Amino acid sequence: MISPDDLIALVRNYNPKTNADRIAEAYAFGEQMHDGQFRHSGEPYFTHPVAVAAILTEQRLDDATIITALLHDTIEDTKANYEEVARRFGNEVAMLVDGVTKLTNLQLSSRETKQAENFRKLFMAMSKDLRVILVKLADRLHNMRTIKAMRPEKQAQKARETMDIYAPLAGRMGMQWMREELEDLAFRVLNPEGRQSIIRRFVTLQRETGDVIHRITGDMRLELEKAGIEAEVFGRAKKPYSIWRKMQAKDQGFSRLSDIYGFRVITGSEEDAYRALGAIHQRWRAVPGRFKDYISQPKSNGYRSIHTTVSGRDGKRVEVQIRTRQMHDVAETGVAAHWSYRDGVRTENPFAVDPAKWIASLTEQFDAEDDHDEFLEAVKLEMYSDQVFCFTPKGDVIKLPKGATPIDFAYAIHTRIGHACVGAKVDGIRVPLWTRLRNGQSVDVITAEGQTPQVSWLEIATTGKARTAIRRALREADRARFVKLGHELARSAFEHVGKKATDKALETAARALRASGVNELLARLGAAEITAHDVVQSVYPELTTGDGDEISPRRAVIGLEPGQSFERAPCCQPLPGERIIGITYRGRGVVVHSADCDKLGEFEDQPERWMDVQWHSGTHPAVYGTTLELTIGNDAGVLGRICTLIGEKKANISDLEFVDRKPDFYRLMINVELRDVEQLHSLMLTLEAESDVAAVARFRNKPEERHYTG
């Protein structure tokens, strides 16, 4: 275990002004709190917090973060509490330790809905202070380095969580070295045979070709010296998991895989970076389509570098990254560069991004997302995305994930532009909205007044911002439509009992039915979550119970055995006044069908189940639901007139559903509550006489298909 003096020495290497006494005190307090606790490996538990602190010194982080690393498990696993940590080490450290503790308690690999909610909490913790996630990532890195001491099933769970969440998060934060190591450590657990096969092939390749890295590094240094460019050159073989992922993505074997070696050129200035690019391209042939300039178009996490792939010795492709020393510092530590110290002072790195702005840009579009699964989908889309850069007609740069479409581009400019999008031109040519955009393209979004987002756009959009905005707009549009429809249904239902759907009546109904307001009540009514009968009954219960002369629905059918109940068949929805047949069911009573129902054919060979029944003669209440199919003109006020006509015929609308929408006509199903078949015929004649009704029919189901009869 690293001693307190050794840890302080690691901090002093980049921060000579560190408060050594405070770090030593935190070391002693943490060691005391964890005394008697041991890891799965049998080592004293405190070796873990010390190792986490040492990892964070490699990123040259401030004293508060180092102390947090030493204490990050004290509140969770020892008798120490928040108040004691705050009293000894200050509120800043106590808040950071508490934040790490809360992250530790999140089971990010649990079931989807819970996982989504925990993701939301993770991003909320990050938004308060990004150093919390820096400590958590270092904590996960050390746990993965020592994972062999865990049970196999626990290893697999932690490795999958690391591969799915922590490694991509480290990459999104710009800490590429940590992402690669986390991925490789998880790969070692999840697919040890695959990893070993990659390593064996590397050994074979080195035996056959010699030290390729040393030779190419020497060649690059020589070319740069010839051009008078001072630069450092480093080379390395890519990590086994990185190579495995390329093999899977390109469906190629190891022998056919190119660019398995990577090289970095670190220059003194931005000008030298571009000069180095020229020297390398003069010496080696550039591979088309493999050039990216992240210096002129940096990533949102502050990453800047030139990427190119060239054909090196023996035609082998190698990837080269060229950047300045300051750019390299950000590339190594990502957003953590904001807290980096050098020579005792906070590093003034012009390329380090403001963590608060970075996390705000990452989470702003998710804050309004109500659905947890949609939030999780959006987060993963943003975390795993690579970037492409496209231009507006004015030359402004829009950053998008790989695979983005003009819809994503439109929403990236402004939500209002996205909502109004009807088409796009890419490099001056009209293209479909599902077109995948490429680096450097110019995109001109075509908008139209009155356009609204379409459901199909969810299949086209790839960014979390676009998908969230589309879903929100669709929900709002549905709500507005349901409120309007609910208002018509309520008006008709109240008129049916001789009352008006006044604001006061609707407010009373909203309170009675526990809706948050009138609009909520109408939206639920329009969406068929409640019936118009429920709404009227909540205000005027005495008007909806029926009078004493009406036949009770429980006694409406004659011919049943004593104590035997009945229900109407949903396939034919028989009404009083129609000839009916009863079919007995064990434990269900009798199901009553119309005598002409096609479903009765299924019971021809079971005559013992048939019952001779009939409707009771007399006045029945209007409680028997019947579905009508209507085709109506798509004009203002038509639906309202239909509802009024139904109300005037003393029928109550209990449900309404649009099944087809065309520019000129709507087809809808209306469920009305009727007294008998005579009222049905009267209602249908009235509707047929309405000029805006193109067709009206009674809806019935056949055994195998739908069919409609008039």
Active-site residue numbers? Answer: 76-77
Q: Can you read off the two tokens belonging to residue 160?
A: 């999958």
Return d(Cα 292, Cα 387) in angstroms, integer.
Answer: 10
Grouping H, G, I as helix, E, B as strand and the rest as coil, residue 225 is: helix
Grouping H, G, I as helix, E, B as strand and the rest as coil, residue 656 is: strand
The 3-state secondary structure of 595-631 reads CCCHHHHHHCCCHHHEECCEECCCCCCCCEEEEEEEE
Return d(Cα 611, Cα 580) in angstroms, integer.
Answer: 9
Distances (CA, A) of 646 to 206, 571, 682: 85, 23, 10
Residue 132: Cβ within 10 Å count: 25
User: How many CA atoms, within 13 angstroms, populate the side-chain half-sphere of residue 632?
Assistant: 24
Torsion of CA 202, 208, 214, 217, to 10 degrees: -90
- Written as one string, the DSSP assignment of 230-279 is -EEEEEEEPPHHHHHHHHHHHT--GGG----EEEEEEESSHHHHHHHHHH
Torsion of CA 97, 101, 106, 109, to 10 degrees: 90
Cβ pair 592, 613 in contact under 8 A: yes
Cβ pair 142, 52 in contact under 8 A: yes
Return d(Cα 86, Cα 88) in angstroms, integer.
Answer: 6
Torsion of CA 523, 529, 532, 533, to 10 degrees: -150
Look-up of token digits 């249904």? 489
* CB burial readout 541-555, b (16+ within 10 A) else e: eeebeeeeebbeeee
Rg (CA), the chain: 36
By C-alpha distance, which of 554, 606, 551, 560 is closest to 580?
560
Grouping H, G, I as helix, E, B as strand and the rest as coil, residue 33 is: helix
Q: Which DSSP symbol is given to 571?
A: T
Length of the chain: 710
Q: Can you read off the two tokens belonging to residue 66?
A: 């180092």
Q: Can you read off the two tokens belonging to residue 557?
A: 């059918």
Distances (CA, A) of 95 to 38, 72, 84, 99, 384: 26, 11, 12, 6, 29
Return d(Cα 273, Cα 172) in angstroms, integer.
Answer: 24
